[in-house]
Chains A and B, each alone.
Chain A
Amino acid sequence: MKHVRITTAHQSITFSRRMMLLGGAQAAVGGLLIGRMGWLAIAQNQKYQLLSESNRVQLIPVPPRRGWIIDRAGKPIAINKASFRVDLIPQQIVNGPQVISELQRLMNLPPDEVDRITRELAASRGFQPVSVADNVPYEYYAAITVRLPDLPGVAASRGFTRFYPGGSTVGQLVGYVGAASAAEYEKENKNPLLLIPGVKIGKEGLEKALESTLRGEPGGQRVEVTARGKLVKELDPKPDRSGGTVQLTIDSELHEYAARRIGDQSAAVVVIDVASGDILAMPSMPSFDPNNFSDGISGNEWKQLSGDDHLPLVDKALESLYPSGSTIKPSMAMALLNAGVDRTQKVNCTGAFQLGNHTFHCDKRHGPVDMDAAVVHSCDVYFYSMCLRVGAEKLSPMIRSMGFGEKFDLPFDNQRYGTVPDPDWMMRKYHRKWQGYDTVNMSIGQGMVLINPLQLAVMASRLATGKRVVPRLLKNTPVVPQTQLAVDQDHLDFIRKAMWGVVDHGTAAGAKLPLDGIQMAGKTGTAQTHNLAAHERGDYTSATWKLRDHSLFMAFVPFDNPRYAAATIVEHGGFGAAVAAPLIRDTLTFLYDKPKAIAALQTFEQALGGTLEERLARKTGAWRSANGLPPAASKA
């Protein structure tokens, strides 16, 4: 401390100086305040005006009605049904378990559903409503509505439910809809539409692939609301726009018929209009019922579906790959003719074929066979020997041009395309040289040959027309112009004749169309799934279902002026002629004579023990009792 004697004069000077300082500081603060206010009100005015406006005006989204999916004749495949629904809003729930048990009492919810609701509630993110039930009967809806004040977090509303008249027969075709998950909400940049209870988006199949068309534009009621959410006044609304209707090339009656005719088998059927490439039917059975999926399915339903060895959750028409078996033979014969093989030349079939130290079998001893007989009676030895003579290099391109291994532009994101092998491919993929036995395997559609049922139907279409038929599913996509295939008309006529022979007096003679004047041409196939010994083949009852051969059939009608082509692959169906050919026969009969086909279906279903719905209900019941569960409550 300085030893300066401080006087009153000093003090007075100090005071004035410090007063100046204080005054200056005060003025500086005043300047700062005015500057800051100017910055907020002038420089950032626009930003804050925007924020103020977004505070003031809230948009209550009005969900658009989802577009319909209709068949080629305009019949509904997926439509909307007015319904009542009940949801839980997690953020508003005070006592979750109590609310759920109250709802269970009021709505008579099965324990399965209670489990699902509890699970979804635990996983929810607060903003996302949990569906209690869609399609609620009016009495339940009314019962909930009067008790709403005592049930915080429960929301009862009117809305629309997706309805699929075809039920499980269209499951694999259309997929299903459901409430958006948290991940989907994030992916769409937190689209507020997805949070509205009852708004469903496509989850699988066409519903997912065509989402952008089907969804439509949400409208909105613009309202002025207070910070506490109280409505002050309504401003001009923004109208919603319903989703667009999508017309498919599917003939829903034929599709449903084929699906039912599949019976208890695990199979896919594809029917194509060869003139346009329109897919008329493409069921994959068994399937799930998309009506059950739209309000979320219970854990048990899911377990039953995913545990089923008939794979109801797989679209077998597009996603499953199988060896083509003998259905490859007409195309193979075409390739042989193209390579200059004389179709009258005979090969003696002794029932076995020796290549190196391995014996390849035929299913019987055909004796001397020419090309026609080899196709009609499906003689393997003929193809082994002829194909070896020509070589794989000349065969594979023809097989490919007929549709095997080809990618088609269809609105599904999970198609698989299979393989048609050749020596180059073998080197690329397996780094080994093509061997004689590879040709032998390929000649009868075994080994590396893998196809899906759609490709088989396309092959039938192309053999029927000699043109490059390209399948299409959406009615509004242009028909792909059909170019001529590089085949001789004479060869083509011969092959068609041979395929007619298959049904007339060959392997599929039991599957003639019960129609006057309309004859079918086709080819059976039996694809081995396991290497069974000769004595085990054909003895299907001894093998468990999983070890059985796949049963294939492709066909076109009428054989002399082809109009429709069809194909099916029945998983583990056994011999091609026994299961697959009659299935296609009845399906194609439906196109010409509905009463006759329907009568055939009734007989068929009676033998199985009831309609599809009855059998499904029984199957579910059996599964539930086998898993120690009470019978499922019937859905109202």
Chain B
Amino acid sequence: MITSAIIPRPLAKLPWRLIFIVLGIAGFGLIVLYSAAGGSIRPWAVKQAIVFVGFLAIAIGMSWMKESTIKAIAFPLYGVTLVMLIGVEGLGFVSKGARRWLDLGPIRLQPSEFMKPAIVLTLARFYELVPAAEIRKWRAIWPALALLGVPAVLILVQPDLGTCIMVVLCGVTVMFLAGLPWWIFVGPLAAVGVAAPIVYSMMHGYQRKRIDVFLDPEGDPLGAGYHIAQSKIAIGSGGIWGKGFLHGSQSHLQYLPEGHTDFVFATMAEEWGLVGGVILICAFGAVINWGMRVSQNARTRFGQLAAAGLSATIFFYVSINLLMVMGLAPVVGVPLPLVSFGGSAVMTIMLCLGLLMALERQQRTVSRLI
């Protein structure tokens, strides 16, 4: 919030600190994309800038939405997304062996992206409706499991393991914060330990290979372990201060695969070093922290749960990507939001931020008397 006589009131009421941080991250991302293209704004930086500005405008526009409006669209949004997910199965456009895209004339939509905020809003809405006394009852659990399970399975069979994991984690976070009993979370964790080998045996070849490689990346450094190995070389060789802008050999000589998308962090770290990495991580931390504060300050249960869930979405996005890039998690194909090239992640993050800004505005403008 900026208080100044010069700036018009609606603008001054925007959460400028957040917007500056987001602009900083995205701007840094554009610089990295410029370098990843060998010192050129084409083909990535320009496109990315346009997409980012577009979605930033949408997000700011969304910040005027009322909480009641958000509540009202929660279930319909979920329903429409679910229908689109089913549609992808039937009419989906196959790219890189996975059926993820829905071709709607000029726009190609990846409905699973919408599912991330949609599941958060839906579960938040659902738990708002559940009376406090009922929260530990079976009635409060199974509908949520169904709401979460159906899209998760649909996304898993596309197959898109990364998005599936994210949707499940977002949903589970909302359920956790809603106050469901502990055994709901501890039980499945134990079950996962037991079921992991069975799931493993049912996975697609490429998914299974990624897990093998994660468990033993040195086993196949030129084959499937190549991504992780090269990414670690890029990050490790950057050192504290990095090799300097436009001087990353790993990315420029194309040893680093997907250096502009999933592994953009490695491209950045090679040139900007540990310093660049820590700054970027802290910037994301600030964004997430801002979202968590919105949740803590929220006065409605829906606001609390939705804001926490949306921040968690951003958190999972960032952390899964970074864990993967640094060799701490299997390669599951999750981009680094705002930095990786590609519109889907920007869209999801901006939708989340738009909703968070809307919720935050409610806190500041609506009377504290409910």
Physical interaction between A and B: yes
Residues of A bordering B, CB below 8 Å? 1-2, 5-8, 10-11, 14-16, 18-19, 22-23, 26-27, 29-30, 32-34, 36-38, 40-42, 44-45, 47-49, 51-53, 55-56, 224-228, 232
| B179 and A11 form a contact (CB under 8 A) | yes
Q: Chain A contacts of B328 at CB under 8 A?
A: 32-33, 36
B132, A38: Cβ atoms closer than 8 Å: no
Q: Is the CB of A19 within 8 A of B308?
A: yes
Give Cα A227 to B270, complex, Å.
17
Nearest Cβ distance between residue A561 and chain B, in whole angstroms? 72
* Contact B254 A18, beta carbon cutoff 8 Å: no
Where chain A touches its partner, the secondary structure class is helix
CB-nearest residue of chain A to B273: A41
Interfacial chain A residues near B269, Cβ < 8 Å: 37, 41
User: What are 25 residue pairs bridging A and B, where the CB atoms are less than 8 Å apart in the complex?
Assistant: A7-B133, A22-B177, A22-B312, A23-B292, A26-B288, A26-B319, A33-B323, A34-B281, A36-B326, A37-B278, A38-B274, A40-B326, A41-B236, A41-B238, A42-B240, A48-B235, A49-B239, A51-B236, A52-B234, A53-B249, A55-B230, A56-B249, A227-B255, A228-B254, A232-B253
CB distance from B273 to the nearest CB of A (A): 6
Contact residues in B for A23 (Cβ distance below 8 Å):
292
Mask, B295-311, CB within 8 Å of A = 1, is: 11000010010001000
Which residue of the partner chain B has the closest CB to A44? B236
**Of residues A5, A14, A47, A52, which shows the largest number of chain B Cβ atoms within 10 Å of its Cβ?**
A52
Judge whether B237 is part of the interface by a CB distance below 8 angstroms. yes
CB contacts (< 8 Å) of A32 on chain B: these are 328
Q: Do residues B176 and A22 form an inter-chain contact, with CB atoms below 8 A? A: yes
- Give the residues in chain A near B296, CB-CB below 8 Å: 16, 19
Q: Does B63 contact A (CB under 8 A)?
A: no
Supposing A6-B132, A22-B177, A36-B326 touch, asked if A55 and B255 sit within 8 A by C-beta, the answer is yes
In the complex, the answer to whether B177 meets A52 with C-beta atoms within 8 Å is: no
CA distance A52 to B319 in the complex (A): 25
Contacting pair A48 B233 (CB below 8 A):
yes
Give Cα A299–Cα B355 distance, bound, in whole angstroms. Answer: 79
A14 to B176, CA, bound (A): 10
Q: Answer yes or no: B322 CB below 8 A from chain A CBs.
A: yes
Let me know if B66 is at the binding interface, CB within 8 A.
Answer: no
Task: Please name all residues of chain A whose beta carbon is closer than 8 Å to the beta carbon of B301 when the two chains form the complex.
Answer: 11
B235 CB to closest chain A CB (Å) equals 5
The answer on a CB contact under 8 Å between A45 and B236 is yes
The distance in angstroms between the C-alpha atoms of A55 and B249, with both chains bound, is 9
State whether B237 touches A48 (Cβ < 8 A): yes
A19: chain B residues within 8 A (beta carbon): 177, 292, 295-296, 308
Q: Is the CB of A51 within 8 A of B237?
A: yes
Chain B residues whose C-beta falls within 8 Å of the C-beta of A15 in the assembled complex? 177-179, 304
**Complex: chain A residue closest to B135, CB-CB:** A6
Interface assignment of B136: CB less than 8 Å from any CB of chain A? yes
**B163 at interface by CB-CB < 8 Å:** no
Contact flag A22-B173 (CB < 8 Å), given A33-B326, A226-B253 = yes
Contacts A15-B177, A19-B292, A22-B176: A40 and B132 contacting too (C-beta < 8 A)? no
Closest residue to A7 on the B side, CB-wise? Answer: B132
B317 in contact (CB, < 8 A): no
Q: A49 and B237: CB pair below 8 A? A: yes
**Knowing that A37-B274, A52-B255, A227-B253 are A-B contacts, what are 11 other residue pairs whose CB atoms are under 8 Å apart, sorted by A's residue number?**
A5-B133, A10-B179, A15-B178, A18-B177, A30-B281, A30-B319, A40-B232, A44-B236, A56-B253, A56-B255, A232-B253
Residue of A1, A5, A19, A40 contacting most chain B CB atoms (<10 Å):
A40
Contact status B277-A41, CB under 8 Å: yes
**B188 within 8 Å of A (CB atoms):** no
Complex Cα gap A37–B273 (Å): 9
Known: A7-B132, A33-B281, A56-B249. A227 touches B254 (CB 8 A): yes
- Tell me the minimal C-beta distance from A546 to chain B in angstroms: 58
